[in-house]
Amino acid sequence: MLFGLGWDPTMILLVPAILLSLYAQFRISSAYRHYSQVRSRKGLSGVQVARLILQSKGLHDVQIEVTEGRLSDHYDPRTRVVRLSRDIYQGDSLASVAVAAHETGHALQHASGYVPLRLRSTFVPVANFGSSMGPILILVGFFMPAFNILLQLGVMAFSFAVLFQLITLPVEYNASGRALALLQEGGMLENDEAQGVKAMLNAAALTYVAAALAAILQLARFIIIAQGSNDD
């Protein structure tokens, strides 16, 4: 079996994840392209939506800042800052409303002590280590049989990255659910606009499903490689 030197039979496992990732990117790109052209009839910009949601929950100490990049929006639990890309921050489209509400949903999760969000924050360092060092340890262990233990350590390290992706799923879906409910409860959407916001949020969520599937299948591939090396 060739590992790290081009194609090997285990790479066929990654095909479903690659296809889903391509589809997810197409969905989010097309949804954003469409709904960024549909103006919210309330005329609220992304930053205004975020402020209204935070104020409605008494979270006056959470800041909102502009960040550069396209769809680089995120919530930073360390500094309690909602960061919105310039188009989302200033824009008053349904895409801006949806993304701003979603990221603010993470701030609400943080304030309420939402357990999956706390777990995800805890796993960030080990997940980063596992995703970067896991494949390296596996590669070294595969080509240097004397250090075969590195294969097992690599698989174990990468499993933390997989766990991180799995924990991310409920965090993202919950934030989207909160976002849609808060937009409707706060009167920030007309009834027929909710479907557009939901389509935007669902397209974004699919990218996290694709990432989780890719991580799971990559882990399965690494396990097969490690077992094959032990058999040899």
* Local confidence band at 230 (pLDDT 50, 70, 90 cut-offs): low
* Beta strand 63-67 pairing with 74-76: unpaired
- Angle (nearest 5°) at CA 140 between 134 and 146: 125
Q: Catalytic residue at 103?
A: yes
- As a whole number of angstroms, the distance between CA 129 and CA 123 comes to 10
Query: Could you tell me which of 58, 59, 100, 108 has the C-alpha nearest to residue 83?
Result: 100
Q: Which of 65, 68, 103, 193 is catalytic?
A: 103
Q: What is the pLDDT of residues 26-77, one digit of tens each?
A: 999 999 999 999 999 999 999 999 999 999 999 999 999 999 988 899 999 9
